[in-house]
Amino acid sequence: MKELITRLSNAHGISGYEDEIREIIKAELEDWADEIKIDNMGNLICTKNGGEPEIMVAAHMDEIGFVVKYIDDKGFIRIAPIGGWFSQIALAQRVVLYGKKKIYGVIGCKPPHLMKDEERKKGIEIKDMFVDIGASSKDEALELGINVGTPVALDREVVELSNGRITGKAFDNRVGVAVMIEAVKRANADVTVHAVATVQEEVGLKGARTSAFALEPTAAIAVDTCVAADFPGSESAHMDVKLGKGAAITVVDASGRGLIASPKVLRWLTETADKYNIPYQLEVAEGGTTDATAIHLTKAGIPAGVVSVPARYIHSPVEVVDIKDVESAVGIVARAIETSKNYF
């Protein structure tokens, strides 16, 4: 799992520009699937045919990033955020821009040495940052294939921490993608399974909505990450989701504006985990939601649940997960596919 997560995380694919990561996922699933297609939105839909019910396992493959919005005469690049950013995290990061080839740069701003006292006390906003690719002019940047609309992704590699934990960028949701891939491969059931790597989740759950509409599965599981609340400063969230205690099964997210999981779906996931002695945690979240929200509102309604891997420092280049939680998520999803006939 570490090797798979590393390959997925180190690849790039911001919302709307998921081509590179999609090819990696496709290669992982092409021997498993009976049918593979890429729909009009760019979702990768891999289907293993079987009987009823039809189970959709969705994991979004996009990551937050930026796009170029302006290049000045000196070759410095202004960027617009794609997805949810806490601006202070973006500053001083190394990035990769997709021009004619991969072009590397760094995000900079006016240094504190040149700031007035009142400026030093304020947070730097993304609109006041720029990307330095080493170009000396706008024409030089254009010659490298950088233009308005060029996607910009964080450039950070996975490394291991202590106690079976790893850190890297885009674990939201490359960890979820890894869980989806491994779970569908491990499941041994004569049901139809749709493994869907969705696009543009970070900017509105878009790919989940269109793919679920086309497939209209019997039930669905969205695989994602969720906020762990076990580090300094997180106590005020009053959440009991911790690293190393198992995957999280969502009861409610976004204070009900997102998903309120149906009792039937909760029984399916929790009873399956209990039956196979797979550790899990229950999550009630006031902020954030997942592809399951779009899926369960599709057509006449599709029963949907969420299995998440707890993560620290989500939407940063140094997200942290515990491999034990990853394995827990794989187990719950794989076994839930197998038990789905008992519930749907």
Catalytic residues: 201
Q: Which positions ≥6 away from 238 have C-beta within 8 Å?
A: 229
Q: Which positions ≥6 away from 53 have C-beta within 8 Å?
A: 191, 192, 217, 218, 219, 340, 341, 344
Cα 7 to Cα 109: distance, rounded to the nearest angstrom: 31
Cα 20 to Cα 61: distance, rounded to the nearest angstrom: 10
Cα 277 to Cα 332: distance, rounded to the nearest angstrom: 10
- The upper half-sphere exposure of residue 278, i.e. CA atoms within 13 Å in the direction of its Cβ, equals 25
Cα 128 to Cα 135: distance, rounded to the nearest angstrom: 19
Cα 25 to Cα 299: distance, rounded to the nearest angstrom: 27
DSSP designation for 341: G
Cα 85 to Cα 40: distance, rounded to the nearest angstrom: 27
User: What's phi and psi for 285, nearest 5 deg?
Assistant: -120, 140
Question: Given the structure tokens 């990450």, which residue do they identify?
Answer: 225
Cα 281 to Cα 269: distance, rounded to the nearest angstrom: 11
Cα 43 to Cα 39: distance, rounded to the nearest angstrom: 6
Supply the angle between the helices 19-29 and 171-186 in degrees, to the nearest 10. 20
Indicate left, alpha or beta for 204 from its phi (over 0: left) and psi (-120 to 50: alpha). Answer: left
What are the structure tokens assigned to 316, written together?
């940063």
- The upper half-sphere exposure of residue 67, i.e. CA atoms within 13 Å in the direction of its Cβ, equals 12
